[in-house]
Amino acid sequence: MSRPSPRSIPQTVAGMPPAPQLSGNSLPMQALRAQIGRIARCGAPVAIHGESGTGKELAARAIHAQGARASFPFIAVNCGAIPEALMEAEFFGCRPGAYTGALHERQGLFQAAHGGSLLLDEVDDLPLSMQVKLLRVLQEHRVRKLGGSTDEAVDVRILCASQHGLTRGVAAGTFRQDLFYRLNVIELALPPLRERRGDLQVLCEVILARLSPHRVVSLAPPVLAALAAYAFPGNVRELENVLERALAFADGGVIALDGLALPFAAGNVPLRAAPAMPAVSERQQCLPGMAVYGVAPVLPLDVYLRQAERDMIMLALVQARYHRARAARQLGLSVRQLRYRMQKLMIQEAILDERMDDR
């Protein structure tokens, strides 16, 4: 399979908003951009790691856009979102009749990214059986469709992303060491938002311009200081979530401090002083748009319920001294249900792991 002509690749549709880019001028971001520029000039595989919400896919897109493959496809796939039974067909394509329901020949992700770059997000979620097949493709630069009998050449630059880096999986025996050496040729670490607080103003401006393109929105003076004091375990993704919620309560295009409703900051809670359960009226007054108890809320019910659920889980964790099993029993949940709700509400477990000993 020869590399397609750049003219055959669809270009950005006129009038469509540009793809989000890494924003910020802090020293960590300046160093990151310089590193991306150097990495883009070569064609070696890159292993990107950083906390959830730091912009790993944006960094991968920047590497692709600044390299020689910029005119060819960039394909991103979340490895943890593909059912194991369908992984081979998704990655390498399939022939008709290869499995039940395969009525037509199908191109895989490697064929779709031919000539360009393929981002394997959460690559450490790949099962070992699929890691073996991926290793063969990286060694041979050829793929065989599921149900096929011949190989076809592919020319793809591999970028991968993970939250904690691949060395943890290698040490735990869940990630093949030989595949690690194929993927981890160049390592790129993304800084969390708490290490680049000087970018908050720029990030807020960029996010608000994207969320409200037809209305000018500004931040009241105390808002930026409140944002800078918060740990943001969910990083830029959580900042966008906070601003989108605050935008709904902005009067006259100004986001006020009482409209932020910043989540309970786990990192700022002392371990020895669990707070007492607040009264119902106090809980209502701490939420934007809520009046005293007995008055109907003036904010969407799902927003109030989500915030109340998050506060209750955080309070249970504090009272249980960050022991997930005890907190789950207190809430009437299983540990698995608690983990799911923490993930859904963006309560970063990494921050809690150091304080919890339920293993």
Q: What number is the average pLDDT over the span 355-359?
A: 46
**In this structure, are strands 218-219 and 157-162 parallel, antiparallel, or unpaired?**
unpaired
User: Which residues, 6+ apart, have CB-to-CB distance to 105 below 8 Å?
Assistant: 93, 94, 95, 96, 145
Q: What number is the average pLDDT over the span 349-355?
A: 49
What pLDDT does 161 receive? 96
What pLDDT does 181 receive? 96
Type of residue found at 324: R
Residue 2's pLDDT band, with cuts at 50, 70 and 90, is low
- Output the pTM of the full model: 0.69
Q: Output the DSSP codes for 155-176.
A: --EEEEEESS-SHHHHHHTSS-
What pLDDT does 323 receive? 81
Structure letter (DSSP) for residue 76: E
Is the confidence at residue 17, as pLDDT, over 50?
Answer: no
User: Which residues, 6+ apart, have CB-to-CB distance to 5 below 8 Å?
Assistant: none
- Long-range Cβ contact pairs of 124-127 (< 8 A, separation 24 or more): 124/162, 124/164, 124/166, 124/168, 124/169, 124/174, 124/175, 125/79, 125/80, 126/79, 126/87, 127/84, 127/87
Q: Residues 298, 210, 203, CA angle at the centre, nearest 5°?
A: 95
| 73-130 pLDDT tens trace | 999 999 989 999 889 999 998 888 767 676 688 899 999 999 999 999 999 999 999 9
Q: Report the alpha-carbon distance of residue 252 to residue 262 in Å, rounded.
A: 21
Query: Which of residues 344 and 214 earns the better pLDDT score?
Result: 214
Instruction: Tally DSSP H helices, then E strands, for the chain.
Output: 15, 9
Query: Which of residues 48 and 350 earns the better pLDDT score?
Result: 48
| 120-152 pLDDT tens trace | 999 999 999 999 999 999 999 999 988 888 899
Question: Phi and psi at residue 160, in whole multiples of 5°?
Answer: -135, 155
Q: What number is the average pLDDT over the span 220-233?
A: 89
| 169-222 pLDDT tens trace | 999 999 999 999 999 999 999 999 999 999 999 999 999 999 999 888 999 888
